[in-house]
Amino acid sequence: MARYRGAVCRLCRREGAKLFLKGDRCFKPSCPIEKRGTQPPGQHGNSMRRGKALAGYGQQLREKQKVKRIYFVLEGQFRNYFERAARIKGITGENLLILLERRLDNTVYRAGFATSRRQARQLVNHGHVEVNGRKVDIPSFQVKPSDIITIKEASRKNSHVEGAWQTAGGRGRPSWLAPADGEMSARVASLPTRADVDRSINEQLIVELYSK
C-alpha cells in the first residue's frame, strides 16, 4: 500500500501551519513550527514566501494539499472521496470533510486512542481496533452512528495507547463521539457535522479546484 514515508514536520512547514501530524510533539517547544516559524523547508524556503500572495489556482491547490496532509490520504484516494461527496445530496465541500472525518483512523484519533492520525492508522493496520466487537484493519473504513469503537483487550496496555488515552481529555473529543460502556471504548453518537471539522479549512477552494 502506497503511503508517505518522509518527514511529516516538513509537511506542516510547507503549509505554514500546524497539521498535528506528530502527536504530543506538536504541543511542545520542540515542534519545528515553534522553533523555525512558518518558513517552508529547504534551502530556498525564505524565497518561497516572497512576492505576491497565492491566488486562484495556487490557493486552491494549497488548500487541497493541506487537507490531504491533515487526513493523511493520497491523491487518488482524495479524488475518490471528492467524487463520492459530489454524488451525495447536500453541499459537496461539507460532504467531503464529513467523509474524511468518518474514516476509522480519524475516528480512533478523535476518540483519544492515538495522539495523531498517523499513529491511529498504525493501530488500525496492526489489528488493535475493533468495531462492534469485530477486528477492522482498514483505515478508510467508514464508521456510522451507533458503532462502538474499541481497543482490543490485549492491546490496552500498549504504552502508546495508554499515553494517548490519558491525555485525550485535555485535547477534547468532538460531539459526535460519546463514551461507551467498557474500557477504552467510544460510541459514534451521530454523524460529524461541519462544525466538528477544523474551521481553518476552506473546502470551497477544493470544490472550485476540482470543478475546473
Sketch out the chain's domains with CATH numbers.
Answer: 8-100+197-210 (1.10.1050.10), 104-191 (3.10.290.10)
pLDDT at 50: 46
137: helix, strand or coil: coil
Residue 3 has pLDDT above 70, yes or no: no
Residue range 172-183: average pLDDT?
89
pLDDT at 51: 44
pLDDT at 101: 97
pLDDT at 18: 55
Distance CA 8, CA 4 (A): 9
Residue range 171-176: average pLDDT?
86
pLDDT at 1: 41
pLDDT at 48: 47
Q: Give the position of cell 524565497.
A: 47
Quick one: which of 122, 97, 118, 119 has its CA closest to 174?
A: 97
Which residues lie below 8 Å from residue 11, measured CB to CB, with a gap of 6+? 4, 19, 21, 69
Cβ count within 10 A of residue 143:
25
Residue 121 has pLDDT above 90, yes or no: yes
Residue range 110-114: average pLDDT?
94
pTM (2 decimals)? 0.78
Buried b (16+ CB within 10 A) or exposed e, 70-103: bbbbeeebbeebbeebeeeeeebbbbbbbbbbbb
